[in-house]
Amino acid sequence: MRRLSLPILGALALTSLACSASTAPTADQDKPVTTAGVWQPAPGMTQLPIWPADPPDGTLMPQPPENVRTYKEPPEYGGKSEAVLDIAVPTMTIMRPKDRNTGTAVVVFPGGGFQMVFITLEGTEICDWLTAKGITCIVSKYRAPGGNEYWDDNLKHHITPKIPRALQDAQRTIRLVRSKAKELGIDPNKIGVMGFSAGGYLVAQTSNVLAATYKPVDAIDTISSRPDFAVALYPGHICRDNGTKFDPALPIIKTAPPTFIAQAWDDPTDPICNSLMYASALDKAGVSTEVHLFAKGGHAFGLRKKDQPVGLWPQLVERWMKQIGVL
């Protein structure tokens, strides 16, 4: 075997370090970049304000103008993902079916711990899948922070607002979509909700809280906000006190819509008790409930683990939607 002298080894090591320095991303390159301004969807999508004037009850506290945090992602995920912060003017973004129109619509509530809204990973990326299946998809950009209980990084504790602003926005969005059924070419009786993490909690709230949580502002608020079906992915905020207590602020009603729940056992952010407790409560109330629990998948997997068992959840949702007659 040929041996290399120490000087040659040293030269090779220096060359290797130089190459690594020139090609490897720096820590600064991997940090998310925050830019001021209202989030804008890609061409072909329509973003609309959901309230005709100022939203009811404003924001939890004075906050800076809306801004967007951009995270670097692998090329197969578009190279980036976006989260929206300091949302004072909630909107909905409409994505229409790509080919055939089934007449079914889904309002998507992205997660973000009610601190922000992860509008691409758990919003527009989900809509890309749904619209490919002939479903009209609407992404909700609800008020945050403070639309529901959230963790305050500065104060280092949870804050529970007295006014559920995110739920107000969610109810209004469902009503607004139903009011536009003819315009959007959808069946007003086939409008569902799908939420991720904190958005999964909004799914539970809109399914079980049917009375308006705000004073009516126009005729649209006379329309029902009850979804016709519901999908909750790794929901949070439901089980409290280390899994020993069900959220006392969340009622469970027997008229809640058929519900699909999926989560991974190894979720480090929202423990599995959220899905288990919610599914058990719905079942006890007589609500048709389908549950899929995966051994692995972590949190916030969205559509990004297609080669793992947890990546089968979209196919399971599609089959379930066909079974309950909405697709």
Condensed to tens digits (0 to 9), the pLDDT of residues 243-278 reads 899 999 999 999 999 999 999 999 999 999 999 999
Identity of residue 304: R
Q: In percent, how much of the chain has pLDDT > 70?
A: 91
- How far apart are the C-alpha atoms of 260 and 291, rounded to whole Å? 6
- How far apart are the C-alpha atoms of 203 and 282, rounded to whole Å? 13
Kindly report the pTM of this predicted structure. 0.90
Strand order in the sheet with 33-36: 33-36, 67-72, 80-85, 116-117
Q: CA nearest 49: which of 38, 60, 37?
A: 38
Q: Across residues 113-131, what is the average pLDDT?
A: 97
For the chain, the average pLDDT equals 91
Segment 46-102, tens digit of pLDDT: 999 999 999 999 999 999 999 999 999 888 877 889 999 999 999 999 999 988 999
β-strand partners of 289? 259
Are the beta carbons of 228 and 265 closer than 8 angstroms?
no
Tell me what pLDDT residue 183 has.
97
Q: Across residues 293-309, what is the average pLDDT?
A: 96
